Structure 1
Amino acid sequence: MRTLDFSPLYRSAIGFDRLFNQMEQNLNNSNGGYPPYNIEQQDENHYRITMAVAGFSDDQLEISQHQNRLIVTGKRAISEQDEKRQYLYQGIAERDFERKFQLADHVKVIGAAMENGLLHIELEHEVPEEEKPRRIAINGQRLLGQADSVVSHSAE
């Protein structure tokens, strides 16, 4: 497997260290694509991650969000019956997993549900009011600071 060295970029790119860390993490992702998943955009601000987690129950799955990272973990409890099984062929992956997703700013998990072996995680992009685009009225007045100084000079 080929590895990439991003260290020269750290020296010449200012403020992009998080981007390079994210690229390194994605390249070094060792879970081999298990479990498979889809990411669906339902509308402008709503997304859904669907993961195929056949064989896992609700209590064996854990979903957590820390800052901009969503982590889905599956841990199977091995029973005595499982240990005694002898497979001639085992094509169904029944192993523990941890899948990490990097979320954009202001994306939060709003719910999760299991249905027919699929885990659905609902996400919402909620932009704070102060960061939303706003319309500035054009009414011929100057900025407050400038208007005050003009008024004070004309009064003298």
Structure 2
Amino acid sequence: MRSFDFSPLYRSTVGFDQLQSLLDSVTHETVPTYPPYNIERTSENDYRISVAVAGFAQDDLDLEVKQNVLTISGKRAEPEGANYLHRGIAGRSFERRFQLADHVEVKGAHLENGLLHVDLVRRVPEELKPRRIEISAPAKGQKTLEGNLATAAD
């Protein structure tokens, strides 16, 4: 029994629809395993998704980003006149979805040695980055107000 009931959350929250659907999708029992992929962190703000797409040409693959979801899909046309005695190389169509965090953008993608590499970067806007606030203290002899009384700082 691996199902969770998130309905109490739905009754008391507003604007968290994406988070709720993400939680729902994580708890599903069926997890696609094809094609295999890696997710690596290449630096503090850079990531790379590598998907094994052996047998797929560049024209057979499609990448799309919509509302913080990266979708990688592949559809390969069957070669005409092929008569396989054994078919062990998977070439079936696929669709993989990756939920991207806020401010994560696709920097680029390239196909190399049967792997599709998708480079991602996190670019946090300046106004959302932490900033340092200077703490100032009154200079000696400068008057400060406390309540209704003005006193001299020591």
TM exceeding 0.5:
yes
Match in the other structure for 1:77:
77
Give structure 2 stretches of 5+ with no counterpart.
139-154
Contact 1:36 1:51 in 2 (8 A): yes
Contact 2:39 2:49 in 1 (8 A): yes
Q: Which has the larger radius of gyration?
A: 2
Match in the other structure for 1:39:
39
SS in 2 for 1:11: helix
* TM-score of the pair, normalised by structure 1: 0.77
What RMSD, in angstroms, separates the aligned Cα atoms of the two structures?
2.3
Give structure 1 stretches of 5+ with no counterpart.
142-156
User: Percent of pairs identical after alignment?
Assistant: 54
SS in 2 for 1:49: strand
SS in 2 for 1:54: coil
The offset of 1:32, in angstroms, is 2.3
Contact 2:2 2:27 in 1 (8 A): no
More strand by share: 2
The offset of 1:5, in angstroms, is 4.0
Task: Select which of 119, 123, 126 maps to 1:126.
Answer: 123
SS in 2 for 1:43: coil
Counterpart code for 1:49: I
Counterpart code for 2:127: E
Counterpart code for 1:120: H
Cα deviation digits, residues 50-88 of structure 1 (max 9, x gap): 000001010100111112110001011123224xx2334
Structure 1 residues 57 and 31: CA distance shift in structure 2, 3 A:
farther
More helix by share: 1
Match in the other structure for 1:87:
85
Aligned length: 138
Counterpart code for 1:59: D
* TM-score of the pair, normalised by structure 2: 0.78
